[in-house]
Amino acid sequence: MLSLPRFAACVTTVALAAGGLAAPATAAPPGTWTVSQRGMSAQVSLVDGTPRLAVTHGGRTVLAAAPVGLRTTGADLSTGLAYVGQQRRTVVERYDMTTGKRHHRESRLAELRLSLRGAGGARLDLVVRAAADGVAYRYELPAAATITGEASAFSLPAAAPAWLLPYNAWYEQNRVATTAGGAGTGEFGYPSLFQVGDDFALLTESDADGRYSGSRLSHAAGSGEYRVTLADAAVTARRTPWRTAIVGDLATVTESTLVDDLATPSKVRDTSWIQPGKVAWSWLSDHPSPANFERQKQFVDFAARNNWYAVLVDEGWSAEWVPELVRYARARGVEIILWFHWSDLDTAEERDTVLPLVRSWGVRGVKLDFMESDTQARYQWYDAVLARTAELHLMVNFHGSTIPHGLARTWPHIMSMEAVRGAENYPLPAGNPIQAFTRNVVGSMDYTPVSIDTGIQRASVAHEVALPVVFESGWTHFADSPEAYESHPEALRYLDQLPTTWDETRFVAGHPSGGAVLARRSGDRWFLGAISAGPARTMTAPLSFLGAGRWLVEVVRDAPGPRADVVRSALVRTARDTLSVDVPVNGGFAAIACRALPGRTTCDRELQHVPTSTLGVTPMGETDTPKGSSFEVTATFRTDRAVRDLRLAPRAPAGWSVTGAAVTRRTVPAGVAVSGRWTVQVGAGSADGYVDLPIVATFGTAGWSGRVHVEQAVTAFVPPPAPTGEPYVSDLPFVAETNGWGPVERDRSVNESGGGDGNPLTIAGVVYEKGLGTHAPANVTVYLGGRCTSFTAGLGLDDEITQPGSVAFRISGDGKVLFDSGVLRPGPAVPATVDVSGVRMLTLSVTDGGDNKNFDHADWVDARLSCQS
List, by residue number, the catalytic residues. 369, 424
**489-498 residues labelled b (16+ CB within 10 A) or e (exposed):** ebbbbbbbbb
> Which residues touch 849 (CB under 8 Å, ≥6 apart)?
776, 805, 806, 807, 808, 823, 824, 825, 856
Strands 365-369 and 395-398: parallel
Strands 578-583 and 537-542: antiparallel
SS3 392: helix
Angle subtended by helix axes 461-470 and 489-497, to nearest 10: 10
SS3 515: strand
How far does CA 440 lie from the centroid of its chain?
Answer: 14
C-alpha to C-alpha distance for 802 and 652, rounded to whole angstroms: 48
Angle subtended by helix axes 322-330 and 293-305, to nearest 10: 20
Helix (H) or strand (E) holding 864: strand 857-867
Nearest to 731 by CA among 862, 819, 835, 846: 862
**Is the alpha carbon torsion for 88, 94, 98, 99 positive or negative?**
positive
C-alpha count within 13 angstroms, C-beta hemisphere, residue 666:
0
Measure Cα distances from 808 to 403, 777, 812, 824, 853 in Å.
Answer: 44, 9, 13, 6, 11
**Burial (CB count <10 Å: 0-12, 13-18, 19+), residue 120:** exposed
Radius of gyration for the alpha carbons in the chain, expressed in angstroms and rounded: 30
C-alpha to C-alpha distance for 209 and 383, rounded to whole angstroms: 7
**343 neighbors 692 (Cβ within 8 angstroms):** no
Please state, as a whole number, how many other Cβ atoms lie within 10 Å of the Cβ of residue 299. Answer: 28
Strands 643-650 and 689-701: antiparallel
C-alpha to C-alpha distance for 311 and 285, rounded to whole angstroms: 14
> Which residues touch 785 (CB under 8 Å, ≥6 apart)?
719, 722, 723, 840
C-alpha to C-alpha distance for 86 and 390, rounded to whole angstroms: 39
C-alpha to C-alpha distance for 356 and 348, rounded to whole angstroms: 12
Q: Cα–Cα–Cα angle for 541, 544, 549, nearest 5°?
A: 120
C-alpha to C-alpha distance for 50 and 481, rounded to whole angstroms: 58
**824 neighbors 808 (Cβ within 8 angstroms):** yes
